[in-house]
Amino acid sequence: MTRLETRLVHAGRDGLREACVHAPPIDLSTTYPVADLEAGTASFDALVAGEASAANPIYARLHNPTVARTESALARLEGSEACVAFGSGMAALTAVLMARRAHGGHVLVVRPLYGTSDHLLASGLCGLEAEFVTADRIAASIRPDTALVIVETPANPTVDLVDIRAAVAAAGSVPVLVDSTFATPVLQNPLALGARYVLHSATKFLGGHGDVIAGVVCCEDALAQPLRTVRAATGGLLHPLAAYLLHRGLPTLSLRVERAQANAQTLAERLAAHPRVARVFHPGLGTVRNAHLVGSQMAGPGSLMAFELAGGYDAAAAVMRAVRLMTPAVSLGSVDTLIQHPSGLTHRVVGAADKAANGITDGLLRLSVGIEHVDDLWSDLAQALDAAATVPAAQAA
Q: Single out the catalytic residue among 69, 76, 111, 204.
A: 204
Q: How many CB atoms lie within 10 A of CB 20?
A: 6
Angle, helix 115-123 to helix 89-100, in steps of 10 degrees:
30
Q: Single out the catalytic residue among 32, 114, 197, 313.
A: 114
d(Cα 184, Cα 335) in Å, to the nearest integer?
14
Q: Is 45 among the residues known to form the active site?
A: no
Cα 83 to the chain's mean position, in Å? 14
Q: Single out the catalytic residue among 61, 270, 276, 279.
A: 61
d(Cα 13, Cα 2) in Å, to the nearest integer?
14
Q: Is 355 among the residues known to form the active site?
A: no
DSSP string across 250-317: GGGHHHHHHHHHHHHHHHHHHHHT-TTEEEEE-GGGT-STTGGGBTTTBSS--SEEEEEETTHHHHHH
Helix (H, G, I), strand (E, B) or coil at 196: coil
First to last CA, the chain: 55
d(Cα 272, Cα 340) in Å, to the nearest integer?
18
332: left (phi over 0), alpha (psi -120 to 50) or beta: beta
d(Cα 271, Cα 308) in Å, to the nearest integer?
10
Residue 352 has, within 13 A of its CA and on its CB side, a CA count of 1
d(Cα 331, Cα 275) in Å, to the nearest integer?
28
Q: Single out the catalytic residue among 160, 179, 362, 380.
A: 179
Q: How would you class 42 by CB atoms within 10 Å of its CB: exposed for 0-12, middle for 13-18, buried for 19 or more?
A: middle
Cα 359 to the chain's mean position, in Å? 20
Tell me how long the chain is. 397
Q: How far is CA 121 from CA 151, 168, 363, in A?
A: 12, 20, 26
Helix (H, G, I), strand (E, B) or coil at 107: strand
Residue ranges with strand state E in 101-154: 106-110, 129-133, 146-152
Helix (H, G, I), strand (E, B) or coil at 22: coil
Kindly list the catalytic residues.
61, 114, 179, 204
